[in-house]
Amino acid sequence: MGCDGGTIPKRHELVKGPKKVEQVDKNAELVARWNYCAISQAPLRKPIVACELGRLYNKDAVIEYLLDKSPEKCIIETAAHIKSLKDVKELNLTDNPAWKGDKANTKGDKYEDLHRAAFICPVVGLEMNGRQKFCYLHACGCVFSDRAMKEIKSEVCHKCGESFKDDDVIVLNGSKEEMADLRRKMEERKLTAKLVKKAKKSKGAEAVSKSVLTKEMPGPLSQKPKEKKASIDKMPSAPSRTTVNAQSSSSTSTATAKACKSASGLTKRSLTENGEKSDVYKSIFTSHSSAKRSREQKPNWITHTAYYY
């Protein structure tokens, strides 16, 4: 039962109280979000891409995730909104000249500074380690610190010179409120892209229909009454002999054509319509003389069956 040898137990040894909430180390969280891929949890290596929510990924990890179409695919929450490579943007990062990478502490006998980052802001020079807020431009993919964007306000990228809007600025690894705002902007951007596609399709269909109509019509409708008026104006006031002769010749030609058509129609008519039938046609039926038998050919008795007839 315990308490042997005069030991006195304390209350916390006998009564179990509520468990303490485990607190996440902030430094470890910053290192995991800024130095490792959000899909594969591998160290970030160029080429690095970012989604419209500001998360960082290795490009090869994103491609492997999109190519995996098996039913046993593990859908990762951080990449559930990525449907194609169009949903991510390759980042144009600036290398840190003071960064030596893993080669600096190969023996393990030196202090490893976790706040040292491989990339810096090209304007201010701050390291991209999570201590300072960073953002990238969705138009060109260049990465800057938030301090540089506030101090040097412009509508042109400081690195490549491409123009951008306020909605193109996406915060990297932002807070929950910033992530919610970025998600709303992402949905609005997708809706506008769908509407633009529908408008282009409708315009293309209208253009095709117009082209078909113009091909079928010989000319614009507005020119037809003008042509009729011009033909009426060109007509002479009194008919000449040549025109009368031409009209008489045309009338005679039409009459002969009609007579020829009627004659050909009469010849093409079958003999059955006139009531006269040929012997070949009559020989098909049993009432013809060739189908009848004489008394000598008939047998002595007759069975009235279907086979006889």
The one-digit pLDDT tens for each residue of the chain (309 residues) are 555 667 788 887 888 777 777 777 788 888 888 999 999 889 999 899 999 999 999 999 999 999 988 877 877 888 888 999 999 999 999 998 888 776 655 565 565 666 678 899 999 889 998 888 999 998 899 999 999 988 888 888 888 888 888 888 999 998 889 999 999 999 998 899 889 988 888 887 777 777 766 766 555 444 444 554 455 455 544 444 444 444 555 555 555 555 555 545 544 454 445 556 777 777 777 777 776 666 666 665 555 555 544
Can you name the residues that pair with 119 across neighbouring β-strands?
95
pLDDT score, position 301 = 58
pLDDT score, position 49 = 94
What pTM value is reported for the model? 0.57
CA distances (Å), origin 27, targets 18, 36, 176: 27, 13, 18
3-state secondary structure of 259: helix
Characterize 38-71 residue by residue with b for buried, 16 or more Cβ atoms within 10 angstroms of its Cβ, and e for exposed.
Answer: bbeeeebeeebbbbbbbbbbbbebbeebeeeeee
pLDDT score, position 88 = 92
Tokens of 35: 């130095």
pLDDT score, position 299 = 60
What is the rounded distance in angstroms from the CA atom of residue 83 to the CA atom of residue 284? Answer: 77
Under CATH, which number does the domain 26-174 receive?
Answer: 3.30.40
Domain chopping of the chain, boundaries: 26-174, 175-219
DSSP at 92:
B
